[in-house]
Amino acid sequence: MDWRPGASLDMLARRAQLLARVRAFFADRLVMEVETPILAHAGVTDPHLHNLSTTCRLPAAADPVRLYLQTSPEYAMKRLLAAGSGPIYQIGRAFRDGEAGRRHNPEFTMVEWYRPGYDYQDIVEDVEDLLIWCLGIPYCSRVRYADVFRQHAGVDPLECAIEVLRDVAVRSGLNAGAPLSRDDYLDFLLGEVVAPHLGNERPTFLCDFPASQAALARLLPGDPRCAARFELFIKGLEIANGYVELTDPVEQRRRFGCDNARRAAAGLPEMVPDERLLAALDHGLSACAGVALGFDRLLMAAAGCARIDEVQAFSVTRA
């Protein structure tokens, strides 16, 4: 049995240096570092994300309580924002079941931050500033989701029929027996057809995702077909996901319900919405924007690594 780390000691030193650079970036901008629980009473409703869970014996509970390892610190950090924390960031571990491979590990490091008062353009520029600070990258490009789908997949992702998406996906290598949802076809085409063209010359922000993929983002003013959401790509690798945050508790509860309907259609168990998050939104969350950045992937991009286990001390196969 190989007990040695997967990453070289030089890479681990580089990892420590990059972590220090990230912390210095936020300290320079007076963004407070916070810590939130990895274990929580609620998981995520998103049908494309799957929580790991465990049971815990609590003194006040007659039976063991099921707790969920968080796929992101987003819910808890928004509760801090609603409590008046001001700008905050966190560097912590996140967990996603079923995600393991060349670019994925079930346990990974996420950098997540929120900026009250920031709009769409502000938060994109904030990510760009972080890349300049940490990697010395001078500037990034910006493209719209619909434009690059038309260019590389030959379809209009906002208007074309689902049958067209299915046919293009099948021609592009999708092997699916049962019909999939519109967003499943779009996700496949993004990953297999569009993403390889993104961020090859310079980091690229893919902006204005379809409204059906808004997650916890606001819709674009003037174009309800799109969300104020972006992803950052470097050499075809998704590095970050950010958006202007949804602050309406009624709409957020509706979206959680839609998520669970999609879960039911896919044969997945229903997930109880996070009532503490909804209560925080009901209390009042001021206008803000946030970003979740995969730290391991940022280091992969900076070091030119092809596999995530090259930048982690012990991936799941060595844990």
Task: Write out the two tokens for 118.
Answer: 């920031």
| Contact yes or no for 309/6 (Cβ under 8 A) | yes
What is the percentage of the chain residues whose pLDDT exceeds 90?
A: 93
Which residue type occupies 67? L
Q: What is this structure's pTM? A: 0.94
Question: 9-140+202-310, what's its fold?
Answer: BirA Bifunctional Protein; domain 2 (3.30.930)
Q: Which residues contact 31 (CB under 8 A, 6 or more apart)?
A: 87, 88, 89, 113, 115
The three-point CA angle 68-71-75 to 5° equals 85
Q: How confident is the model at residue 175 (pLDDT cuts 50, 70, 90)?
A: confident
- pLDDT value at 269 more than 80: yes
pLDDT in the model for residue 9: 97
Q: Judge residue 59's burial from the number of C-beta atoms within 10 Å of its C-beta, 0-12 exposed, 13-18 middle, 19 or more buried.
A: exposed
